[in-house]
Amino acid sequence: LVYGLLLALTELLDNVDGAVARIRGRKTKYGSFLDAATDRYKEALSLFVVCWVTGYWVVGFAAVTGSLLVSYHHARASMEGAPPTATGVDLFERFERVATLVLGLVLTPFLPPGIFFGESALFGALVVIAVFSHLTAIQRLWRARRVLKDLDRAASPPRGLRAGA
């Protein structure tokens, strides 16, 4: 319960610091990069701590890899030239993952121990994060495939034309 509440407070403060930087005109590219990088560390560390305490290593590993792949697919598509507007809204982004973890942490002490197929609500939250983060990663992969193939077609010379012809 305490960990869940502290995690929620940490996320709230993280959002406030970015908003303050924007309002005060102190937003920088490096600040945005650093914020995104530390978000990945926070998310992975939060899930690692839950796994350490509960022993839910397999589902926790699936949750961490799914979460990281969601972020990676977005970043890599951008590196390959996908415009930011091509990202769209995704199924289970960082806010949803953190909110699910917080709910699992906060509700577990109040719900029956075997509520999720014989496991705790926290285990259920990890399963939800694992499944939906991988679905979101696949969603981003599919979108990147479409957008990047369109960019490749636009950059390729029409068929039948040779270089220097």
27-65 core/surface letters (b: 16 or more CB in 10 A; e: else): eeeeeeeeeeeebbebbbebbeebbeebebeebbebbbb
124-157 core/surface letters (b: 16 or more CB in 10 A; e: else): bbbbbbbebbbebbebbeebbeebbeeeeeeeee
**Distance between CA atoms of residues 110 and 26, nearest Å:** 43
Residue from 17, 39, 150, 152 carrying the catalytic annotation: 39
Alpha helices by DSSP H, listed for 24-120, are: 29-54, 57-79, 94-107
Our answer to whether residue 152 is catalytic in this structure is no
SS (H, E, C) 105-117: HHHHHHCCCCCEC
Q: How many residues does the chain have?
A: 165
- Residues labelled catalytic: 39
